Amino acid sequence: MNPGPIPRVRTAGLGKSYAVPVLCGVDFQCLPGEVHALIGANGAGKSTLAKILCGLVRADAGTLELDGRPYAPSGKRDAEAAGIHIVHQELNLIGTLSVAENLFLAGLPRRMGIVDRTRLRGAAREALARVDLGNLDPDTPVGALGVGVRQQIEIAGALARHCRLLILDEPTAALMDPQIERLFGHIRRLRADGVSTIYVSHRMDEIRRIADRVSVLRDGRLVATRPAADLAPDEAVRLMAGRDVESRATAPRAAPGPVRLRVDGLSRGATVRDVSFEARAGEILGIAGLVGSGRTELLRAIFGADRADAGGVAVGGAPPRRFRSPREAVAAGVAMIPEDRKEHGLLLPRPIRVNATIAHLAAFRRRGGLLDRRAETRAVERAGAAMDLRSSGPEQPVAELSGGNQQKVLIARWLMRDAEVYLFDEPTRGIDVAAKAAVYRLLDDLARRGKACVVVSSEMEELMTLCDRIAVLSAGRLVRTFERGAWSHERLLAAAFEGVAGTAANRGTEP
């Protein structure tokens, strides 16, 4: 007999196949009050396992138990009734609904059948305060917010509910340290109350800080379960990949060339305030900042995805202007890889091939205008191989790919197209350790080919690895720029907070 405690959740021989098997004979256990990390390369089956536990996907082999009893959720509602909640990897908030409505979609407070707005707002404020978004108006439509804020809202929603098992599928992919620490505080409190957490992440440092045990999935099989303290990062990577992975370090690049992008006094409402900087040929310029500091908004304003109200953008030797649409920016030689791949990037039902080549079909036209499908497919295969894309081939619909592999398709699209200036918004969000190294190589390559790259990232380690300089945004302003060698984790963080105290106070007086 099993002498240990009865697991909160247990799977035995769990299997799931789509066209090919994606989970195979998985025996997994999460104990009461345990924080159990689930790691694995992109496409290893982490989200699929999570979705089976929360009733969104039906397993086709094996059994589930919840607190020692057979458990077979008929759907998400059923799982929620049993106390299992999930924060998804892909954002699931509805853009046209308000923050408050999204938070309580399933259980809107009603009086005589009518949604009680006052109570809804109050409950939303309370939930938001828990994730440091006390200043956010619950009536804001979610569509207006960046990925980081939306992720925080999803977390707030899960924390506001009573649960026995919380599943977080890459909850911190767009968050920076202080927000992550806050989330960990919540997880620790839940742990003390005996709530179990399954924590999916590609960030090894987080896993060591928060997890009790770690399970590793590789190609749909559970290859190891270990106490987190006993699993060195190198070994974790080896277990995930089944081989050694090269390190990220790259050789120093030559000194940068002439200015390729000059941003001058760019402003947009309260989110981007009078931002000026330059990026040179052959340079990678990082942009750091907390969630809500205006990182995404800045890139969107440069690219013409949102209209700037003041200032200008000069590309190459051209005079400064404000792009009125991404089309104009692209024509001027700017490419942007957006952070929200679902909304601004991918055509989910269409194949990988179409998604990768859509921005530069002209390159594959033969004389007479016909598309050279063979050349197109070859180019897509090459790009896929360079990033270790896991798919059944160029014709597979993007909707069927794992989150990290979708991101790779989006990057491939823009790398195929030639531009002078590349704007990357969280280029490695959701990407596994091995593929991250590949993305870093690609960025380094672009810089060596004389492109100017601007990279927004929540991972300071990533910026410090990649960049020649790092500019820090705080409350919409560019407060500081660090040269390589002059930065440190602490300094970057201090700069990120520089403008925050003031604005928090100001916000209280805003209507």
Ligand X SMILES: Nc1ncnc2c1ncn2[C@@H]1O[C@H](COP(=O)(O)OP(=O)(O)OP(=O)(O)O)[C@@H](O)[C@H]1O
Q: For binding to ligand X (CB under 6 A), which residues are involved?
A: 18, 22, 40, 42-48, 89, 390, 400-405, 430, 432
- Give whichever of 55 and 403 is closer to ligand X, judged by the CB atom: 403
Q: By CB under 5 A, is residue 403 in contact with Mg ion?
A: yes
Residues 55-94, one symbol each (x = binds Mg ion by CB under 5 A, - = not), give: ----------------------------------x-----
- Give whichever of 40 and 157 is closer to Mg ion, judged by the CB atom: 40
- Give whichever of 348 and 386 is closer to ligand X, judged by the CB atom: 348
The interface partner of residue 40, options being ligand X, Mg ion, none and the CB cut-off 5 to 8 Å by kind, is ligand X
| Least Å from the CB of residue 54 to ligand X | 13
| Least Å from the CB of residue 43 to ligand X | 4
The interface partner of residue 42, options being ligand X, Mg ion, none and the CB cut-off 5 to 8 Å by kind, is ligand X
Contact of 264 with 314, CB cutoff 8 Å: yes
| Least Å from the CB of residue 453 to ligand X | 24
Q: Which residue has the tokens 């410090």?
A: 464
β-sheet with 334-337: strand ranges across: 334-337, 421-425, 452-456, 284-288, 469-474, 477-483
Q: By CB under 5 A, is residue 48 in contact with Mg ion?
A: no
Contact of 158 with 86, CB cutoff 8 Å: yes
Query: Which residue has the closest beta carbon to Mg ion?
Result: 47
Structure tokens at 427: 């280029």
- Give whichever of 18 and 276 is closer to ligand X, judged by the CB atom: 18
Give the whole-angstrom CA distance, residue 449 versus residue 392: 32
**Three-state secondary structure readout of 61-116:** EEEEEECCEECCCCCHHHHHHCCEEEECCCCCCCCCCEHHHHHCCCCCCEECCEEC
Q: What is the CA radius of gyration of the chain?
A: 23
At 141 the three-state DSSP class reads strand
- Give whichever of 125 and 408 is closer to ligand X, judged by the CB atom: 408
| Least Å from the CB of residue 437 to ligand X | 15
- Detail the DSSP E strand segments found in 391-475: 421-425, 452-456, 469-474
| Least Å from the CB of residue 403 to ligand X | 4
The interface partner of residue 22, options being Mg ion, ligand X, none and the CB cut-off 5 to 8 Å by kind, is ligand X
Q: Which of 11, 29, 47, 405 binds Mg ion (CB under 5 A)?
A: 47
Q: Give every CB contact of residue 73 below 8 A, 6+ residues apart in sequence.
A: 54, 55, 79, 82, 84
Give the whole-angstrom CA distance, residue 334 versus residue 279: 12
β-sheet with 259-268: strand ranges across: 272-280, 259-268, 310-315
DSSP state, 361?
G
| Least Å from the CB of residue 430 to Mg ion | 7
The interface partner of residue 425, options being ligand X, Mg ion, none and the CB cut-off 5 to 8 Å by kind, is none
Say how many residues touch Mg ion, by CB under 5 A.
4
Q: Which of 167, 117, 124, 164 is nearest to 142 (CA)?
A: 124
- Give whichever of 406 and 457 is closer to ligand X, judged by the CB atom: 406
Beta bridge partners of 38: 200, 215
- Give whichever of 151 and 271 is closer to ligand X, judged by the CB atom: 151
Give the H or E element holding residue 30.
strand 21-30
The interface partner of residue 405, options being ligand X, Mg ion, none and the CB cut-off 5 to 8 Å by kind, is ligand X
| Least Å from the CB of residue 432 to ligand X | 6
Structure tokens at 405: 């592999």
- Give whichever of 47 and 196 is closer to Mg ion, judged by the CB atom: 47
β-sheet with 21-30: strand ranges across: 21-30, 9-17, 61-66, 69-70
Give the whole-angstrom CA distance, residue 309 versus residue 301: 9
**370 burial via Cβ count (<10 Å: 0-12, 13-18, 19+):** exposed
- Give whichever of 89 and 503 is closer to Mg ion, judged by the CB atom: 89
Structure tokens at 344: 């601004």
Give the whole-angstrom CA distance, residue 453 versus residue 443: 8
| Least Å from the CB of residue 46 to ligand X | 3
Query: Which residue has the closest beta carbon to ligand X?
Result: 404
User: Among the candidate windows 46-54, 66-74, 337-345, 488-496, which touches Mg ion by CB under 5 A?
Assistant: 46-54
- Give whichever of 335 and 412 is closer to ligand X, judged by the CB atom: 412
Site residues for Mg ion, 88-147, by CB under 5 A, read 89
| Least Å from the CB of residue 211 to Mg ion | 17
User: Among the candidate windows 47-55, 171-179, 229-237, 456-464, which touches Mg ion by CB under 5 A?
Assistant: 47-55
| Least Å from the CB of residue 389 to ligand X | 10
Q: By CB under 5 A, is residue 377 in contact with Mg ion?
A: no
| Least Å from the CB of residue 191 to ligand X | 23
- Give whichever of 40 and 345 is closer to ligand X, judged by the CB atom: 40
Give the whole-angstrom CA distance, residue 479 versus residue 293: 11
User: Which residues are at the interface with Mg ion (CB under 5 A)?
Assistant: 46-47, 89, 403
